[in-house]
Amino acid sequence: MSMYEIQGGRPLNGRLRVQGAKNSVLPLLAAALLAPGQSVIHHCPDLSDVSATLDILALLGCRVSREGESVTVDAAPISGSAIPERLMREMRSSVIFLGALLARTGCAKLCYPGGCELGPRPIDLHLAALRRLGAEIREEGECLSCTAGGGLRGAHIRLPFPSVGATENAMLCACGAQGVTTLAGAAREPEIVDLQRFLNKLGARVSGAGTSVITIEGGRSLHGAEHTVMGDRIAAATWLCACGAAGGEVALTGVEPGSLDTVLACLEQAGARVENRGTQLRMVSTKPLQGIQPVHTAPYPGFPTDAQAILMAALAGGRGQTLFVENMFQSRYRHVEELRRMGADIQVRGRCAVVTGRPLHGQRVRSTDLRGGAALVVAALGARGTTQVTGLSHIRRGYENLEGILRELGADIRLLP
């Protein structure tokens, strides 16, 4: 069992280019399926979730190769439309293939395991949107069998909640539907704007991403295209929170500062100095972070649920009190128990967690999910003594070379086999 061993208390200093966004690259790779041609995705992060996605594409018959940061997907020879349970279990977000497969082949088959580390993970909104576009979906236990026997038709879809995945699935499927689709109540995340950009490069006609109404003119003939994945705003938030916890000065490039507004506002309120220099985001943290106004997670442009654990970890080792309200997922406080083992004072009641900052100490702790794992690393960087973090497979789903990057910034972190 591999683990990180971290000696806390060393400030972080230096510059880094932020990896490509995990939450963008997965739908982009699914979108590559739509066009019977070759697409090249640049700035593709080296993550286990990306490898799992590439395995699915290969299994569906695509020719897939990787050279450094660029992945080539030739979706011309696609021969299948079923994703085996083993690969679905490896990565739940592969439900994004439903819309793309329906659009490209008129059918899709996959098994969807209901819950995950964050609690129940329903896909009712995805299925309702695809049904509006003409998909017939049979649910047999955990398996879904989708066909578009009567053909896919553009439709007006209203999402009752701005689900990121349902928005992406509907956009992908609508590209293969005849006529115009309007998607109201859509999620507004920057990753959806990135998906729109790529779809348009493939020859689709999509507009409105970034607002709550997206329009897709479907049925156009698509071709391969090249695209560079946007920077990962959650990875960027992680490096900034790490700097907040450990102190120091870091400069990030390759991420759109505007996509981090709510996170930056929290870090500034907590006492860090943040400078937006256009293409570079610089943060200086010279004293322990202070408690801040309540943090409510919400769909974009609200505070991202994916940054909740990471900010909480940074504030847990600071001073003063902060209330967190997690509105997006049911079980997103699993890191709290582990942070407590490091001396954190965090009281959880339902959706709320009250953090009272105080010095943390090293401990052996276990990641239980991707961002919760990153939060433990953030806490360890600011803690006294040695922390061992296990459960690295969670962290590798979303962070490329985490230990190498932190070492470059001056952290004392070792990967133990």
CB closer to ligand UD1, 162 vs 271: 162
Shortest distance in whole angstroms from residue 141 CB to ligand UD1:
18
DSSP string, 170-199: HHHHHHTSBEEEEEET----HHHHHHHHHH
CB closer to ligand UD1, 190 vs 317: 190
Cα separation, 183 vs 341, whole angstroms:
45
Shortest distance in whole angstroms from residue 312 CB to ligand UD1:
15
Q: Are 162 and 188 in contact (CB under 8 A)?
A: yes
Return the exposure string of 287-307: e unless at least 16 CB atoms fall within 10 Å of the residue's CB, then b: ebbbbbeebbbebbeebbbbb
- Within 10 angstroms of residue 227's Cβ, the number of other Cβ atoms is 23
Shortest distance in whole angstroms from residue 329 CB to ligand UD1:
5
CB closer to ligand UD1, 213 vs 416: 213
Place of tokens 């459960």: 391
Chain centroid, CA 235 distance in Å? 9
Q: Three-state SS for 61?
A: coil
Cα separation, 164 vs 259, whole angstroms:
15
Shortest distance in whole angstroms from residue 326 CB to ligand UD1:
10
Cα separation, 277 vs 167, whole angstroms:
32
Q: Are 334 and 358 in contact (CB under 8 A)?
A: no
CB closer to ligand UD1, 43 vs 126: 126
DSSP string, 249-293: EEEEESS-GGGGHHHHHHHHHTT-EEEE-SSEEEEEE-SPPBP-S
Cα separation, 307 vs 125, whole angstroms:
24
Shortest distance in whole angstroms from residue 187 CB to ligand UD1:
6
Which residues in this chain contact ligand UD1 in the complex, by CB under 6 A? 23, 26, 93, 121-126, 161, 163-166, 187, 305-306, 328-329
Shortest distance in whole angstroms from residue 310 CB to ligand UD1:
12
Cα separation, 48 vs 57, whole angstroms:
14
CA terminus-to-terminus distance, the chain:
6
Beta bridge partners of 320: 357
- DSSP 8-state assignment for residue 325: E
Shortest distance in whole angstroms from residue 195 CB to ligand UD1:
10
Cα separation, 166 vs 95, whole angstroms:
9
3-state helix, strand and coil shares in percent for the chain, rounded to the nearest 5: 35, 30, 35
Tell me whether residue 141 is exposed, middle or buried, using C-beta atoms within 10 angstroms of its C-beta: 0 to 12, 13 to 18, 19 or more.
Answer: exposed
CB closer to ligand UD1, 3 vs 240: 240
CB closer to ligand UD1, 329 vs 399: 329
CB closer to ligand UD1, 101 vs 413: 101
Letter for the amino acid at 215? T
- DSSP 8-state assignment for residue 358: -
Catalytic one among 111, 116, 143, 352? 116
116 is catalytic: yes
Shortest distance in whole angstroms from residue 238 CB to ligand UD1:
13
CB closer to ligand UD1, 3 vs 173: 173
Catalytically active residues are 116
